[in-house]
């Protein structure tokens, strides 16, 4: 069946460090892939998405590239800020157009 695997957290970085959060997936076909972010006490916000192989999604300095050959969609940011502290979820959309989620990765940025 479809599944998403994310690196376990928490990930702790200093401000201005480079960020990578790994995400790999198992699915039939080529599903759309998403990164959502959840700030404390809030719901989920779409961060970026990619709908086909080699697509690059980007938003607010975050990027992720849909890699078909490695079934990956790693999230990256060149210079993180304290305000980026949150939980990040990788997800794929299945054939019923529903989201299958990774476990989430908590990101802590220290000033």
Partner 1 sequence: KAGVTQTPRYLIKTRGQQVTLSCSPISGHRSVSWYQQTPGQGLQFLFEYFSETQRNKGNFPGRFSGRQFSNSRSEMNVSTLELGDSALYLCASSPTGTGGTKNIQYFGAGTRLSVL
What is the contact surface with partner 1 in residues (CB under 8 A)? 32, 36, 41-46, 49, 89, 91, 93, 96-104
d(CA 66, CA 7): 17
Q: Is the separation of the CB atoms in 77 and 61 below 8 Å?
A: yes
Whichever of 5 and 71 has its CB closer to partner 1, that residue is 5
Q: How far is the CB of 53 from partner 1 (least distance, A)?
A: 16
Q: How far is the CB of 96 from partner 1 (least distance, A)?
A: 5
What are the beta bridge partners of residue 5?
Answer: 24
Residues 6+ apart with CB under 8 A from 87: 9, 37, 38, 104, 105, 106, 107
**Could you tell me the two tokens for 73?**
């969609």
Whichever of 31 and 80 has its CB closer to partner 1, that residue is 31
- Max distance between CA atoms of the chain, in angstroms, equals 42
Whichever of 75 and 80 has its CB closer to partner 1, that residue is 75
Q: How far is the CB of 27 from partner 1 (least distance, A)?
A: 14
Whichever of 43 and 111 has its CB closer to partner 1, that residue is 43
d(CA 87, CA 66): 21
Q: How far is the CB of 63 from partner 1 (least distance, A)?
A: 18
């Amino acid at each position: 069946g479809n599944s998403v695997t994310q690196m376990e957290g928490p990930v702790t970085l200093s401000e201005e460090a480079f960020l990578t959060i790994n995400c790999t997936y198992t699915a039939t076909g080529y599903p759309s892939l998403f990164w959502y972010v959840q700030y404390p006490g809030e719901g989920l916000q779409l961060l970026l998405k990619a709908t086909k192989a080699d697509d690059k999604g980007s938003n607010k300095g975050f990027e992720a590239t849909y890699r078909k050959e490695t079934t990956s969609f790693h999230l990256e940011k060149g210079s993180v800020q304290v305000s980026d502290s949150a939980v990040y979820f990788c997800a794929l959309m299945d054939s019923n157009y529903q989201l299958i989620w990774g476990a989430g990765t908590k990101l802590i940025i220290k000033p």
